[in-house]
A and B are shown apart, each in its own frame.
Chain A
């Protein structure tokens, strides 16, 4: 019996220690987390990292989309298109396909750009405190176009337009729709509460390639 107690105590200590670390790691800021938070993080990070904040504290309510348009050799720009609308429709029809995850991959293209813009906005607000300046994405176009997030979206847009035989240029727009507030739900005059967009500069490759450069 002594052997059993000894082994159970050892195993129990390990499991209880693990549970305590998990609780400290996941808890909101408190006295224990202030003291042991770093230890818990170092313990959890390699193999036990976890995050159960789905839809909390508040769910993300906006819908972000990547829109692309292409220019043909005659210089005519086609309409803006949502390249993922068919995947979205399929996903709405069948929740059990892998289209949901595929959609998440492509949604990350636009969400990545918005995240980057949010970071820049936040930094700007702290430094300049000029709301009119900070809320205008065209003031940060250089920072945005240099970001990895935009580069991925740009590569994707180029791939879409290069598939067209007569495509020579392309343009990316990241657009965010905010749903109507509950109080506006019966207002038929508008579909969304507000719409924000970041329209990136036009990009060309076809004409340059034609000239042999």
Chain B
């Protein structure tokens, strides 16, 4: 084989592996999933923070110039439906619907169907609050639209690798996720280019004047700037340098962590000094898209190691409430530390070793690390601790131990009608 043929073959195989990496592989499954959870949590936090002031911000009677309804434009019926005369006094329904779909989105329920609704309701909630929306809200609208096309379930798209529909979905997911990265880069590039034309950014005094203002400043920081004007110079040029170099250097593996730390610092400064909570926190979130799966896997493994090993749980196949409990836990078991098994006919050798009557008396668990059995409410509490934020319920379970309340509650549930609602035979776990 001559050199030219070798070159051709080499180029061909490189090209094919490039095409496969975009159309068949999903190397950022965990990154996409973590980003989805973080981003939807941010949207939820944003709405919940504003909810106490809904009549001052979203209501048609609020002292605010509301964005109008655009009946002649097709998009007016999508992004501004809340302003329609029929809906404008029912804005709370839009907020409630947004909260519900966001919760579904955070917990990963029906993502393909739910994310378009998240986009729709978020657009409308933003439309209702009109002029006070900032860059953070603007970016969130774009990102929630992009996420419609991204596989954020954390699981590979089902189907054969050569299936056309699967190839289409995978290509869309990968390229649109890449588009999210480009969008973040565009934000900084655009902001940086416009700042370069400003005299206050050129002479390093921008931060000094921003912090003197009432809207974005703080009396304490204003005084600090007067006492140490060099801080303004450093802060202004650091911001400019970051915005102008981030779009090019964030792609470099070695420089990326440095840029992310720099960016997070910059935006935390914006949150605390200038009060730009929405924009600052959203931009901090955006850095998540630049991480590889391995990074999250390492964090996950570290957090998993803090949870103290797996637990095997024998669930009575005839107990309806137990089966529902196990299904919910399976959904929430991010670290996959809970293994559910059948109490009547367990597959686990550890559970098999226990007398059948004891297995059915109360929910039984085997802690692999401690090599010990627990039962009843102790199993429930241990199972909940294995969930990502389960530790938050620890005080509740400690309180329940007082006067053996936990046993009384467990006894109530175990003997209630809820427990026996399987129609016949053995329910599948």
Contact = CB atoms under 8 A, between A and B. Distances in A.
B425 interface: no
Interface of A: 1, 3-5, 7-8, 11-12, 15, 18-19, 22-23, 26-28, 46-63, 65, 88, 91-92, 95-98, 100-102, 104-109, 112, 148-149, 152, 155-156, 177, 179-180, 182, 185-186
A61 B73 CA distance: 37
A57 B275 contact: no
Contacts of B131: 104, 108
Interface string B158-194: 0000101001100110011011001100110011011
9 contacts: A15-B175, A28-B194, A48-B142, A59-B206, A92-B219, A96-B277, A98-B51, A185-B229, A186-B226
Contacts of A47: 75, 78-79, 123, 141, 145
Given A101-B57, A112-B65, A11 B172 contact: yes
Most buried by B among A8, A18, A149, A186: A8
A48 B79 CA distance: 11
Nearest to B221: A92
Given A57-B197, A104-B132, 16 more contacts: A4-B20, A4-B23, A5-B19, A22-B186, A27-B193, A28-B197, A46-B79, A50-B138, A52-B186, A52-B190, A53-B190, A61-B210, A92-B219, A96-B49, A105-B62, A186-B226
A46 B75 contact: yes
B195 A28 contact: no
Contact of A56 (B75, B79, B123, B201): B201
Most buried by A among B179, B194, B226: B194
Contact of B195 (A12, A55, A96, A180): A55
B56 A102 contact: yes
Given A52-B187, A54-B279, A108 B138 contact: no
A105 B64 contact: yes
B214 A63 contact: yes
A28 B190 CA distance: 9
A191 B122 CA distance: 42
A101 B50 contact: yes
A57 B199 CA distance: 8
Contacts of B205: 182
Tell me what chain B mostly uses at the interface: helix, strand, loop, or mixed: helix
Given A11-B168, A11-B175, A1 B271 contact: no
A76 B225 CA distance: 42
B171 A7 contact: yes
A46 B73 contact: yes
Contacts of B271: 95
A58 B201 contact: yes
A183 B19 CA distance: 60
A104 B171 CA distance: 42
B214 A88 contact: yes
Nearest to A92: B218
B132 A28 contact: no
B135 interface: yes
Interface in B7-59: 16, 19-20, 22-24, 49-53, 56-57
Contacts of A149: 65
B209 interface: yes
B6 interface: no
A15 B134 contact: no
Nearest to B194: A56
Nearest to A112: B65
Given A12-B175, A149-B65, A58 B206 contact: yes
Given A3-B164, A185-B229, A57 B65 contact: no
B299 interface: no
B368 to A, nearest CB: 40
A107 to B, nearest CB: 6
A156 B132 contact: no
A23 B247 CA distance: 13
A1 B16 CA distance: 7
A177 B213 CA distance: 8
B63 A109 contact: yes
The 3 closest A-B pairs by CB, nearest first: A63-B214, A57-B198, A179-B212
Contacts of B226: 185-186
B121 interface: no
Contacts of B162: 3
B145 to A, nearest CB: 6
B413 interface: no
B186 A26 contact: yes
Contact of B142 (A28, A50, A92, A155): A50
B398 interface: no
A19 B138 contact: no
B56 A182 contact: no
B371 to A, nearest CB: 45
A55 B214 CA distance: 14
